[in-house]
Structure 1
């Protein structure tokens, strides 16, 4: 009927064409289904169509596989380029492998029980007596009541988890590319054996925190970070928003425990953290807590969350469980600490590292918290006072601020450049010292101090900007290019710090020795402050003892009649000092001859830690100058570094930097000289930190000095050379010919 109507409208040609088409379609149909008065045909595809469909699916599958391989190659390329760009030495590589390689000790295994065979007892004649003479099942499985519980065998546990606690501040101000770069870097850390736990801090300088929208903002930004990690292709992330609890009572009041061990904010359930970590999943934790009683959610300070996670992952649980034996608690804590090792605190803050007034780029490179925490804190407090004074007197010059202010010299440089409201010429994402909120820097400094105080000395902290953390070490899709002479390839501070356990640059290295980037060498000179990374590496570190204390008494040439320091004084442990020198130089010291030569010339002694490193400095009289105590002879006396020693087990760490910085910053800021054998492998380290060097003709010595060029006249140079030529070594082997 339909064909007839169509034929009447379009003519016989159209009707015939449709009839033929309908006939062909019926031949391809396999079956008809009747539903009411309608007829439907199910066609069976032809072999050619099946081949075409299979070919299309195969092409799509190959395309997906090729795309996945290309993405994997890109991930591997970025990973290996980041590792190769870290410039880790052989010593650094050995240290990294010793820390992150799983232990070779066999895991504790469950006891192997004999197979249950209660019914199969055979004798020599082959007769099976069944369970007649076997142990009754009810007796074998009956409970045993004993006086003391039997020792439980430890179940098999995996290798120790190495964890980095990462705090990302103001992620709402970061674009997706930066977050993607951070996710890629954290994924690379995971491949290198360091799994991350991320705390999201949405507090911004211009935001009053907490507010009504802070909870939704924290959840939203936590999901952004988790998505960025998932997009890295190697690491998965999970939002964990129910692991933080809030206590109603103040910590450490009723139970008598220390406040830093039991905070108001705590971890409610450890498994919410450990289970994802064991599976290689990164927990992303917003700054949200739930009250212990009503389970009501409230925004909390991110620093409190970081401290709560630190206590939990470090195994600090000072409160005993009800009726718990102290010995059992001790074993439990030891098991917790063997399960997880919290190695690093990483703070990604748009403000960067901790500001410093004595660094040309304005940031601490390395912070020895035991020695420098108070001075760094006072530096920031002084900067806050200075900023408030500057904001009230915008047009005043630095001379009106007073020369006693520790930030006056740095502010003088800043006032000649951009205004406070403008961006400074630092790395992208960094700001100048005067453009930062020093209150936030103080909070970061205090957080680092609190975290490192409860962790082992091997743990460390790293503060940098999100842009630096997202840095892959080179431009995206750029071919690999070896660095030119005098240049240093940009490094990702997180990757470099993991492999070397050091800052990107040595803290004792002058900024002028860092070299310029390749692009700046081809175009125009750029100040080192342009490309210095605003990154601070911090450790609990060690104390530094300086005798005499330069804060009390300046190091000056000895005056006749005044008491002077000697190595035999009670404040110096001479046997340990001798051991330090002999262990560092691998030579036996003639102690009697050495004391005879230097004991009346001691300028001062610097001791790092428990005699792990040190420097012994003397006042030397140049040739031709009478040592009669007159003003003329005292003015010609040369400050000389007689011994610079670090224990072998501490070499390659930051001990040498700590001692050297104390020498040139606190003791002899106007300059000091020393000598070293020409073939000494430490000469490269000396060369990078000195203002000049000179190979003494006719000798096996190379002379170094840190005296500024403006103070280095011809007479001073000759006095330095004369002293370095005339010192007679005091080694017990008497191999002075080699020197």
Structure 2
């Protein structure tokens, strides 16, 4: 027995739960985001103010004195952040596709993950599928019901309360009115639908603190219960639950009596979890290892086009689950996400819930991703609805008003417009824009003194990297940086051929250089993604080496390795410092 197995054998479920929280390692922003979803809601009632003529009583004075002079032997109260995570007040829902068959041991591990999520406030609605049961086979209904009860028993063995919902809660066919809709959409409508009245059993189970578990059944036009694809059931449930929650929200706002409180569980699906034996979606950029983070708006078609047929036997449902995620996220809140995860990685579900981020950041340097031990065939794939990514190569293509608003909201400074746009007209290389100016990366060409080697001049300089506060934490930062990588220091490599509207991997990579204030809290993020940095007084100079050049040099030297200073590197730091540190500020002076 190895150390890890021995440790897991000795650790009880409560300790394992705490360790799973610690492994998630949430940042302060992650914790605030989690508490915004699951923490206590603002109280509308106010304590009555004391009447002016009233004087404090002796008891009141004692309390005041105790609050000023605290005895040394009194232990401080537990951290409200920890208390809120371990005792969530607001419960949210997740749709879970459990893609069986699983062994008893595998099902036990999955059930433990579901129970941990429930402790954190996320209650699962589980739909059970079985890939190895052909449709139309005799006795399939009995087999599906048996599999559903098996999942219920596994959940209850882990201490959860589960309820089998064995009747059909969705109806075959599109929702009435869908055929007449002319609204443009980039997703496929579900092949089934449901109404709020159909969700009574699910809502009842959730209110009672039970996890609903459903087989993939639907009512046909003759009101017969028939087996359908679990993807259709889940898509119909996501849409129906979101619509039912919207109706409840409207009813709550219409109440005149402030003493009437809303139901304690929010039906709006916050997460979609697809738990399979095959894990995430294979990536062409990682030789078949999973994608880490997918921007469905801009990458969906390209992922399907680059899916290697050789991956099909090991990942038979990857593309259908990709399509399921795109359809479901279209009906879920913009902050929601989907995760495709192997049954071997249930602990990743906790990390995803608290941080809403992939297990490994997709914007890390490719060399770190390739050698990262955390990147395995069972690493989960996180999917976001995302935003379209566009590359603009002229100032005339930029919406100046929206860019100004983005920069000023992101940096909280007032832009010196005349000087900034004059500089852009002269030095702009390109701009990467995410969505409707939710984020942008502005890259310029900085001229060097005469005689500077071609490998250095001109300098590819990241002038601005900005994301609206409302989009920080929703994946936009990583999507934008990956596109920046593909257009600059990653250009020329096969895995840089992403559909971001730019050069699509064709061209010669260039070193990317930028500067940041030494006290900028974002620097930790920059340190992780840069090749190197150099402190210059109140500034830090960062750079990312052109990856093709490093790869070529490593191949030329074979096993000798790179030296401390290569020939093409001589003089470049001095040139960068001399040029970059003289770039004028884009901001008006602070008052």
Same fold (TM over 0.5): yes
Aligned counterpart for 1:458 among listed residues 335, 339, 347: 335
Helix, strand or coil: the match of 1:220?
A: helix
Q: CA deviation at 1:226?
A: 0.8
Q: Distance in 1 between matches of 2:170 and 2:421?
A: 62
Any idea what the Cα deviations from partners look like across 1:145-204, whole Å, max 9, x if unmatched?
xxxxxxxxxxxxxx86510000011x22x2212111111111111111110000001123
Conserved 8 A contact 1:223-1:239? yes
| Residue equivalent to 1:686 | 526
Conserved 8 A contact 1:604-1:616? yes
Helix, strand or coil: the match of 1:165?
A: strand
Distance 1:530 1:442, change over 3 A: closer
1:593 lines up with 2:433 in the alignment:
no
Q: CA deviation at 1:378?
A: 1.8
Q: CA deviation at 1:544?
A: 1.7
Aligned counterpart for 2:384 among listed residues 519, 539, 543: 539
Q: CA deviation at 1:458?
A: 1.8
| Residue equivalent to 2:54 | none
Distance 1:308 1:547, change over 3 A: same
Any idea what the Cα deviations from partners look like across 1:597-631, whole Å, max 9, x if unmatched?
342221100111232221111122222248xxxxx
1:707 lines up with 2:584 in the alignment:
no
Q: Distance in 1 between matches of 2:292 and 2:119?
A: 26
Distance 1:640 1:241, change over 3 A: same
| Residue equivalent to 1:447 | 324
Uncovered stretches (5+) of structure 2, i.e. residues with no partner:
1-8, 46-88, 256-261, 492-508, 554-565
| Residue equivalent to 2:514 | 675
Helix, strand or coil: the match of 1:468?
A: coil
1:348 lines up with 2:187 in the alignment:
no
TM-score norm. by structure 2 comes to: 0.74
| Residue equivalent to 1:244 | 169
Q: Distance in 2 between matches of 1:228 and 1:285?
A: 14
Any idea what the Cα deviations from partners look like across 1:328-384, whole Å, max 9, x if unmatched?
9x989xx9999522101100011111121113562211111122112122222xx23
Conserved 8 A contact 2:167-2:225? no
| Residue equivalent to 1:299 | 227
Q: More deviation in 264-273 or 653-662?
A: 264-273
Conserved 8 A contact 1:544-1:606? yes
1:159-558 aligned within 5 A: 161-169=91-99, 171-172=100-101, 174-204=102-132, 208-233=134-159, 235-247=160-172, 256=180, 263-264=191-192, 266=194, 269-291=198-220, 293=222, 295-315=223-243, 339-359=266-286, 362-380=289-307, 383-384=308-309, 387=310, 433=311, 435-438=313-316, 440-469=317-346, 492-510=347-365, 512-513=367-368, 528=373, 531=376, 533-548=378-393
Distance 1:612 1:625, change over 3 A: farther
Distance 1:528 1:640, change over 3 A: same
Any idea what the Cα deviations from partners look like across 1:629-659, whole Å, max 9, x if unmatched?
xxx9699423221221223343344222111
Conserved 8 A contact 2:174-2:190? no
Conserved 8 A contact 2:444-2:462? yes
| Structure label with greater radius of gyration | 1
Q: Distance in 2 between matches of 1:733 and 1:162?
A: 43
Q: CA deviation at 1:218?
A: 1.3
Aligned counterpart for 1:76 among listed residues 1, 9, 14: 14
Any idea what the Cα deviations from partners look like across 1:526-547, whole Å, max 9, x if unmatched?
x748646431111112222211
Q: Distance in 1 between matches of 2:472 and 2:571?
A: 33
Distance 1:515 1:93, change over 3 A: farther
Q: CA deviation at 1:252?
A: 5.1
Q: CA deviation at 1:287?
A: 1.2
Q: Distance in 1 between matches of 2:264 and 2:14?
A: 32
TM-score norm. by structure 1 comes to: 0.60
Where has structure 1 moved over 6 Å in runs of 4 or more? 258-262, 335-338, 632-635, 732-736
| Residue equivalent to 1:36 | none
Q: Distance in 2 between matches of 1:306 and 1:500?
A: 24
